[in-house]
Structure 1
């Protein structure tokens, strides 16, 4: 009896020790311990889940779909789960602890082992990388399970631009040197197999000697079976809860993958919460076919001076390049300020290899508010064999604005009195306001100019409350400006630490970095906020600073009112759709005068 009591006490002490050590371990450490305690019953038969990009779209707003996924995984009980990155929203280092606490509280509800991969929202610099390692685990690691080897790579090494470091590639070579597993599964956040940066061919070549290799990535918020190239399978699974930026037919839906290993066979199902889809629901072939049809029905671009009438005739040669007839249905949406006359019928058949030329006459008379958008749009349905495709095609119209050459005396000081001779343009298009899109609490005007020193911009904002508690790559969640200039995307902010210029994208630049070259001044007077900025030549390249040069442009004025009346983020757009996260929104054209 005493011996039993002693043994029970020893077991309890060991269990308490294990629980306490796990409580202070990283997520990866905890998962390795779970794997050790629950090896596969059969090395050739097991299932695991792959998903990614479950980060919130705004601070503290955990996606409901991610919570639902956790509930389903606990029902399915896969051997483990691999998340291909973007676990949290991110931002400056001082904002990360609370986000990681929230994330870990969710992960603690997952019964299966959970192996994370770092994404660009998780690691943005050396400090956030160290926080990740201390709280989540290593950024690059490998483990075996059953008949397979699992390799986690890090596409987010600070200082690396769209590539893996030589150090990481050397580590991968050593890892692969002794592998005798039947399958190799590789995971990284950014789909380099799709964008093909310079060093990726070196990485791919390391996998070629192996007969069964599967590479999973995230980042591009969608599902896509990219295909099998030289024996290697490539898959994107990035629908874990972050905002969707593509149409459903192109994989734009929330999902996770259930991967089944059965001896030499590997397959997977695409699962929406509550739905199971076949793995070929979106393939590269289907996407290319849809893109081909969208291109066939795409309007040619139309330019017009700002606020000037539009009267244009368009010829569209609608052709069918495929080997099957296509049944086509078209439904027009024409705003009141527009007139459209067309020879396109509502229903028609396009014979295989056939061409049907059609004409359109488009007219717009300026309204008192100068809103040229929305523009005419046609919804297209195509039935071809057993496939049905649908998409929308909008008139691509670009207002043209000439910006003057400025004197060198312009100072970047937040005082816009020296801009009085430059025309101003209203930021007209509201998004996410109340049901009536009442913009009384937010109004803005924009001016632009240039000289040999760069491109200048000045923005005047009238806002009932200025609120910007963030910094880093999530400043757009509160009051700030987002600006699109050619290939560049910027955020201009006044944070608690002062002015901040953040670059999201730029040609041949590391993405998502603070910029100290652009000059920014922000001046607040009552309910007015004045932004003044100079982008020097290096930050507008390849634009040449000479008369007649052209560059595309749009701007977003973000607003978050902590005191109401609108407690959700809302914004004004210079061209509609600029804040949608999509790349195909219309932009105006700036001409250097």
Structure 2
């Protein structure tokens, strides 16, 4: 690995010339009193300013990153750092890679300042992408020194293990060690990498890197999780940044979800950070660990318990609303409902205060209008606004939209035995359910001929079973392509007790609940099969106009989550449909995905019959 030995000296000459040309001001005011506080100018040859951009991909939102670049040009930093995930990547298709890098270069071209590249998991995930990076940029980790500050740019993807499994291997560690030894006397060290390895396990030599950093002035910057938080550790500030256009629910600073660039002023005492939201400015304490623990590490304070009805004709019903204050300060709550054309509802309380560490419960009363069918209803939407009242710091405000609807009580029946062969001969008497929720461009979905899917469920002494009957007039299969960019069936199964699984919003995927994605590849059709918490088996049979599939999940996994006498599980099923000639794919779910803003808590619950 090599540093910028030829580029940096030229950079120094340029800045040194500018430092020698300090402005001179002439003042001619005769009075003793002066209209200023002092004239100690806030300038020094050692002081400089640069910017940091963070994740653009992992579900890019078009237009955001270019806006960030335009705003950086208004601010005129001396240079711009990055923390990776610059392209969408995750492919071995060199044509696609070339196109994505060409697009990104077009975003950078208008930038007046130098731009320093750092790889993320979307930039380097396999050997093809790694080679492309080397073709474009030469090295994947490097360093430079500017005005007595060491900039150490690392590659958290050096073992190609993907999201959540970053590493610093032996070779890179030796480079870091040598670089720090060679630059032992710099006044500050700034480290840039993509994945925040300090919150991950099995990171190879990262902890050794931290030990080398512990006795010097340093800061570490990363991205990856699309949420901002600052941690004080290892005698330095470690900061995970939010997004500059990457996927985000954008719920605000309480959640650390916002689009921003970071403006860094390097002083003799260390860096001063200003988080520049694309619509405002905040300092580096925009989200502290204390606020993380209060807001993000606790369930949202307001929950509406789902209700499941055996009698679909029932007109009057009620659901319990539970509001929990997890803090040591007062919490004000305001609930605002939107009118619903098929359901009349009324909250017993809409504006109230919850005392510290207290719980308030009340009812939401509902009445069905006309002959509405629950499964065809749009959800009731209630905006819950939360404000924590503090005496010694600004109040903390955040909000969320709560989706609610009554559900028919779906059951799963016991059977004597299912032979897992992908055929549906044993399922003729089963209760089949349709997958009807569609997301994506309407121009990419041509109705039932394009896609139609039904499923049934059952269990025996050994397994929980899912049968799928799929119609798809254009199977899109790529043996070497990304699992997420071709036709695939998605299964989610949360075996934890109903009061927990009902409010699963996607957290703990692969750890607390099964996330099973199966394509129609001939080789290795299941995404990350070796990382599933349990061995899920499946068999598929291709038909003239689609496919049939059977999936089996060991019952021991369900019993582990809910006990031997398990009564329910939360189940989700979806399909990613990509057709040749369409601009993009469409997604089809039984109920909206648990991690989407459209998720309805309690949806997909199956009760043992």
- Structure 1's unaligned 5+ residue stretches are 1-27, 510-514
Map of 2:165 onto structure 1: 162
- Tell me if 1:500 matches 2:525: yes
Rounded Cα–Cα distance in structure 2 between residues aligned with 1:258 and 1:196: 30
- Structure 2's unaligned 5+ residue stretches are 20-44, 495-512
Map of 2:10 onto structure 1: 37
1:429 to 420, 437, 441: 437
- Tell me if 1:228 matches 2:232: yes
Map of 1:79 onto structure 2: 78
Name the SS of the counterpart of 2:429 in structure 1.
coil
Q: Structure 1 stretch 49-58 or stretch 179-188: which is displaced more?
A: 49-58
Rounded Cα–Cα distance in structure 1 between residues aligned with 2:235 and 2:470: 55
2:351 to 347, 351, 357: 347
Q: Retained in 2: the 8 A contact 1:457–1:533?
A: yes
Q: Retained in 1: the 8 A contact 2:242–2:257?
A: no
1:254 to 248, 256, 259: 259
Q: 1:389 to 1:67 in 2, by over 3 A?
A: same
1:422 is displaced (CA, Å) by: 3.0
Q: Deviations over 1:279-298 (max 9, x none)?
A: 33333333433348864323
Map of 2:328 onto structure 1: 322
Map of 1:557 onto structure 2: 575
1:576 to 589, 592, 597: 592
Give TM-score, length-normalised by structure 2. 0.74
Q: Deviations over 1:38-71 (max 9, x none)?
A: 224367222222122212737xxx8312222233
Q: 1:401 to 1:263 in 2, by over 3 A?
A: farther
Map of 2:360 onto structure 1: 357
Rounded Cα–Cα distance in structure 2 between residues aligned with 1:215 and 1:166: 18
1:481 to 466, 472, 489: 489
1:286 to 265, 283, 291: 291
Q: 1:369 to 1:49 in 2, by over 3 A?
A: same
1:216 is displaced (CA, Å) by: 0.9
Q: Retained in 1: the 8 A contact 2:413–2:608?
A: yes
Q: 1:467 to 1:80 in 2, by over 3 A?
A: farther
Q: Structure 1 stretch 358-367 or stretch 38-47: which is displaced more?
A: 358-367
1:551 is displaced (CA, Å) by: 4.4
Q: Deviations over 1:65-100 (max 9, x none)?
A: 222223333443433322211121123312433323
Q: 1:283 to 1:260 in 2, by over 3 A?
A: same
Rounded Cα–Cα distance in structure 2 between residues aligned with 1:265 and 1:274: 26
Paired residues, number: 544
Rounded Cα–Cα distance in structure 1 between residues aligned with 2:313 and 2:378: 13
- Tell me if 1:217 matches 2:222: yes
- Tell me if 1:243 matches 2:239: no
Structure 1 residues 355-504: aligned runs within 5 Å: 355=358, 357-362=360-365, 367-368=372-373, 370-371=375-376, 374-375=379-380, 377-382=382-387, 384=389, 386-392=394-400, 393-395=402-404, 401-402=411-412, 404-405=414-415, 407-412=417-422, 415-432=423-440, 434=442, 442-450=451-459, 455-463=464-472, 465-466=473-474, 468=476, 474-486=482-494, 487-494=513-520, 500-503=525-528
Map of 2:505 onto structure 1: none
Name the SS of the counterpart of 1:500 in structure 2.
coil
Name the SS of the counterpart of 1:276 in structure 2.
strand
Name the SS of the counterpart of 1:85 in structure 2.
coil
Rounded Cα–Cα distance in structure 2 between residues aligned with 1:490 and 1:583: 18
Name the SS of the counterpart of 1:155 in structure 2.
coil
Q: Retained in 2: the 8 A contact 1:522–1:529?
A: yes
Q: Structure 1 stretch 77-86 or stretch 356-365: which is displaced more?
A: 356-365
Q: 1:525 to 1:213 in 2, by over 3 A?
A: same
- Tell me if 1:296 matches 2:322: no
Coordinate RMSD, CA, aligned: 4.3
Name the SS of the counterpart of 2:246 in structure 1.
coil
- Tell me if 1:143 matches 2:148: no
- Tell me if 1:63 matches 2:48: no
Map of 2:89 onto structure 1: 90
Rounded Cα–Cα distance in structure 2 between residues aligned with 1:330 and 1:438: 39
Name the SS of the counterpart of 1:139 in structure 2.
coil
Q: Retained in 1: the 8 A contact 2:331–2:353?
A: yes
1:547 is displaced (CA, Å) by: 7.8
Q: Retained in 2: the 8 A contact 1:245–1:252?
A: yes
Q: 1:191 to 1:298 in 2, by over 3 A?
A: farther
Rounded Cα–Cα distance in structure 2 between residues aligned with 1:255 and 1:174: 34
Give TM-score, length-normalised by structure 1. 0.76
Rounded Cα–Cα distance in structure 2 between residues aligned with 1:44 and 1:584: 55
Rounded Cα–Cα distance in structure 2 between residues aligned with 1:159 and 1:452: 40
Q: Deviations over 1:481-514 (max 9, x none)?
A: 233234232332236x7783223994579xxxxx
Rounded Cα–Cα distance in structure 2 between residues aligned with 1:374 and 1:535: 30
Rounded Cα–Cα distance in structure 2 between residues aligned with 1:304 and 1:362: 15
Q: 1:67 to 1:469 in 2, by over 3 A?
A: farther
- Tell me if 1:264 matches 2:234: no
1:188 is displaced (CA, Å) by: 1.9
Name the SS of the counterpart of 2:286 in structure 1.
coil
Q: Deviations over 1:1-24 (max 9, x none)?
A: xxxxxxxxxxxxxxxxxxxxxxxx
